[in-house]
């Protein structure tokens, strides 16, 4: 699919849905955006069944709230935000369910139930951290972004980076320090 085509088609279908209450246009919107909603959900929830449930929830919300879409953004952006919010709510609910079930079981059996949830793997925090870091990188000059990628992701040493861009190691360190300060300031503004 062409990246511009779905949004143009979605706008046309939206007009039909909101003006004429067209169920065919609504079905077309579902057909166009269901795979995207599912992929966004799977990216956050990391579970096919949860992603399918989330897709259904988002499609229901889309149906109920489509008349509230104001058109200030692309329709896909509106759906993406709705998908993220629903997925994060699912994560929050699933985190509180084991504690509630454990409390009920402990009350009914008069025994303590050990907490077996993994506190290290928190998909919501991981997703939010990724999103914040990506936004922080957006404010950096592309050459600084490449430095970080080569240094952290590709494992280049500072000496190799300095030779690659033609500066001394202390000059490179100063650039990295400046970039980190810019990112921290940007993250502080986002947080």
**Could you read off the pLDDT of 94-112 as tens digits, one per residue?**
776 655 455 444 444 444 4
Q: Residue 140 belongs to what domain range?
A: 123-190
Average pLDDT over residues 33-52: 90
Tokens of 4: 């511009």
Confidence of residue 129 (pLDDT cuts 50, 70, 90): low
The verdict on residue 118 lying in a domain is no
pLDDT the model gives residue 7: 65
Q: What is the CATH number of the domain that holds 173?
A: 1.10.10.10
Residues 174 and 132 grouped into a single domain: yes
The verdict on residue 98 lying in a domain is no
More confident residue, 40 or 157: 40
- 0.75 cut: is pTM over it? no
The verdict on residue 106 lying in a domain is no
DSSP calls for 138-191: HTS-HHHHHHHIIIIIS---HHHHHHHHT--HHHHHHHHHHHHHHHHHHHHHH-
Of residues 94, 82, 80, the one with CA closest to residue 40: 80
Q: What is the CATH number of the domain that holds 37?
A: 1.10.1740.10
Residues 128 and 69 grouped into a single domain: no
Digit-coded pLDDT (tens) for 73-84: 888 888 899 999
Q: Tell me how many domains the chain contains.
A: 2
* Cα gap 133→19, rounded to integer Å: 41
């Amino acid at each position: 699919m062409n990246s511009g085509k779905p949004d143009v088609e979605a706008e046309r279908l939206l007009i039909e849905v909101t003006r004429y209450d067209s169920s065919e246009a609504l079905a077309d919107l579902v057909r166009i955006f269901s795979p995207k909603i599912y992929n966004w959900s799977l990216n956050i929830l990391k579970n096919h069944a949860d992603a399918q449930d989330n897709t259904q929830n988002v499609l229901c919300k889309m149906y109920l709230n489509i008349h509230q879409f104001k058109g200030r953004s692309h329709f896909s952006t509106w759906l993406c935000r709705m998908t993220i919010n629903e997925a994060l709510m699912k994560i929050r609910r699933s985190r509180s369910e084991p504690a509630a079930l454990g409390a009920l079981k402990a009350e009914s059996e008069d025994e303590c139930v050990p907490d077996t949830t993994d506190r290290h793997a928190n998909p919501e925090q991981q997703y939010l951290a990724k999103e914040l870091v990506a936004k922080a990188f957006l404010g950096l000059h592309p050459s600084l972004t490449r430095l970080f990628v080569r240094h952290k992701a590709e494992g280049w040493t500072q000496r190799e980076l300095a030779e690659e861009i033609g500066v001394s190691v202390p000059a490179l360190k100063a650039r990295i320090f400046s970039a980190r300060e810019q990112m921290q300031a940007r993250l502080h503004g986002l947080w």
